[in-house]
Chain A
Amino acid sequence: MMHLMTSTSDIPLPLRNARVHEAFGPGAVSFAAVAAARAGTVLWIREAWQTEAINPMGLSVFFDPSKLLLAQTRDQTESLAVAEEALKDGAVPLVIIETSRPLDLRMGRRLLLAAKAGQATGLCLIPEGMGGNAAETRWHCTPVFDADDSTLMRWETIKNKSGTLGAWHVRWHTTAHRLDVVSPAGKRPGSADAPG
């Protein structure tokens, strides 16, 4: 854990192209929104039965919701099929998939191959602890309470295939549409007891 506390390396953003990434935790939607702010058209795939919906009004501080396409699927199998199709095509630079069940290696690998074929980026919003092995990075995103700021978030990489792990406190600058990395996570109070 010590290397997390003292991490001063650069945050590995934007997400590496032609790979599939994973994010979980209560701040995963904001993480996806920040990723979408850097991309052009975004395809967001969710299962239609889920009651938790994204709110375009809330997302509008991150990016213009008119560039968002929403695919409502019946189940996860369909979601993955749509994601594979979209990634392979490459017309959409970022594909966000909300999953409800764990991805096995075969599914993860198929998504990865599709992303490589289409040079697009995939981002799975997974339930906690249900990551797949094929993911390039896995992020744990949690909002953090701060006395004088209400957008502070803690983003931690708990898996990174091509770099070191780290944790960062970030905030979204709503007027400049920019991500500010506040300071190394270890030097902030409250990060020691944050889940790692």
Chain B
Amino acid sequence: MWFPRLASDRVLRTRPVEGPFALTLKQANAERLHCLNMEAERQGLYRGMTLADARAFCPGLFSRPADPVADTGFLHVLRRWATRYCPWVGIEGDDGLVLDITGSAHLFGSEAMMLADMRQRLSRAGLTARIGLGDTRGAAWALAHHGEGRAETGAPLEALVDLPVAALRLEEATITGLQRLGLRRIGDLESAARAPLARRFGPDLLLRLDQALGRQPEQVTPLSEPPHYGIRLSLPEPIGLTDDVMAATSRLLEQLCAKLKAQEAGARVLCLTLRRVDQEAQTVELRLASPLRDAARILPLFARGVGEVDAGYGIDQIRLEAVQVEPLPVHQVSHVSTGRADQLDDLITRIGTRIGLENVQRFLPADSHIPERSFLIAAAAWSEPGGSWVAPRPRPVRLFPPESITGTGARPPRQFRWRRMSLTTARATGPERIAPEWWLPDDNWRSGIRDYWHAETRQGRRLWLFYTPQNPGWFVQGEFA
């Protein structure tokens, strides 16, 4: 199944354009046409033409930049759709699908009826598709790309004999070489002597020919289905009580956790969607402090979110999805209990549902002399405690933005007022000079180097003062124990 205009069909499906249309892609420093619609091809445009040339040929051309990533995604969507015909669906190049319909054609009546069904559904979706059917993968490819059709079972050569050699999935150089020899059709190639051909073009050419004619096997590799962590429960009667919703959630959780266990994964973010009778959907998001797949532990964490849901006239569909999943290998069961750590993780999750998981934090040591930067604050759910905390010199237990006090000279003032208190310095230890980190711009350190003093006042308060010699002034920045 070949989609010659996959990219432009995808774009035109969402915003139809009358007249010639093309997608452009920047290649070799020029905007070139990447994919065109039928109308544009009729005007004489072709793939690989520069956009400027195309505009000159066809002034009414609409164009948009191409998005190859979205095209690949769309092809994967089509692949998933194609599993309605057979379970064995693989991807062929950038714009094709390969289906092994052995044994499933009769489900649609016959091969011809199956093809008709495919064509009808694809054209209704607005996709141009060319479908080739053959005994072998090579024959099907040839028929799809060059003159659509069906090769009768057991006689692939009859259908292929008039097709050009390009239908054999050959390299450009080989095709040109064959044409120079006068071998233009597959029939010519088949009737030529094999040995000189293998000498001239290498084994690839004959391998492709044999694959197309069924003398060499070729497999269809189906893409593995990525695991899907979503479970849905439809209820015959709407429910509204919290207990009922929790019971339904617990059923879904058990299934989801079994799925997660099979994949050795743990959910990090869960999303519970409750659809009400009036089609209104309410979502409960649960962000966990650590990957989990233990239904009994996750269920109570949902209690708060479910309690806040407005059931309205009742809920008739519940969907649970693990939005974010992390690998969680199976652990050896040991006699050492991990209950304490688990309990702490659950507590972090529960607090996180109330104030946001990123607001539960922990301190991590950082390598800096600047007091405000000597530690990092990281979200507890995404960091491990660690590192060593070694204060090179006594540090205050409280830090605040510098508060100015009056004072002159390089030694701490004997008497000063701070926060409406009159304080007398009884002993001062210092100075400890800290230079700003010039490689990190910081507005607070514009005043230059600082001389820090540990000042003990006769009134008891022990303050952290600093003096800025380059820009004279005294400030209080912290308080000691």
Task: Please list the residues of chain A having a beta carbon within 8 angstroms of any beta carbon in chain B.
Answer: 26-27, 29-30, 33, 41, 48, 51-62, 64-74, 78, 81-82, 85-86, 89-92, 142-145, 150-151, 153-154, 172
Check B387 against A57 for contact (C-beta < 8 Å).
no
Pairwise interchain contact A150-B462, C-beta atoms closer than 8 A:
yes
The CA-CA distance from A151 to B396 in the complex, in Å, is: 12
Is B255 positioned at the interface, with any CB of A under 8 Å from its CB? no
Task: Report yes or no: A89 in contact with B347, Cβ–Cβ below 8 A.
Answer: yes
Query: B430 to chain A: closest CB distance in Å?
Result: 13
- Given that A65-B389, A86-B351, A142-B460 are contacting pairs, would A55 and B478 also be in contact in the complex, using a CB cutoff of 8 Å? yes
Further contacts, 13 of them, CB under 8 A, given A55-B398, A61-B391, A71-B351: A30-B397, A51-B400, A51-B401, A56-B375, A66-B389, A67-B385, A69-B361, A82-B354, A85-B350, A89-B347, A89-B350, A92-B347, A145-B458
Contact yes or no, A81 B354, CB < 8 A: yes
- Asked if B426 is at the interface (CB within 8 A of a chain A CB), the reply is yes
Chain A residue nearest in CB terms to B348: A69
Are A68 and B395 in contact, with the CB atoms below 8 A? no
Identity of the chain A residue whose Cβ is nearest the Cβ of B350 in the assembled complex? A85
A151–B462 Cα distance when bound, in Å, is 9
A25: nearest chain-B partner, CB-CB: B460
Q: Which one of B359, B389, B390 contacts A71 once the chains associate, using CB atoms below 8 Å?
A: B359
The answer, yes or no, to whether B346 is at the interface (CB within 8 Å) is yes
How many residues of chain B are within 8 Å of chain A by beta carbon? 51
State the majority secondary structure of interface residues on A.
mixed
Residues of chain A with a CB closer than 8 A to B401's CB: 51
- The B350-405 residues at the A interface (CB cut-off 8 A) are 350-351, 354-355, 359-365, 371, 374-375, 377, 380, 385-387, 389-391, 394-401
- With both beta carbons as reference points, the residue of chain B lying nearest to A144 in the complex is identified as B460
**Nearest Cβ in chain B — how far from A110, in angstroms?**
15
Whether a CB of chain A sits under 8 angstroms from the CB of B13 is no
Q: Which residues of B contact A150 (CB under 8 A)?
A: 427, 429, 454, 456, 462, 480
Q: A85-B351, A143-B460 are in contact. Are A27 and B481 (CB under 8 A)?
A: yes
- Give the distance in Å from the alpha carbon of A26 to the alpha carbon of B462 in the complex: 10
B479 and A26: CB pair below 8 A? Answer: yes
Bound-state Cα–Cα, A23 to B399, Å: 19
- Are B351 and A68 interface neighbours, CB within 8 A? no
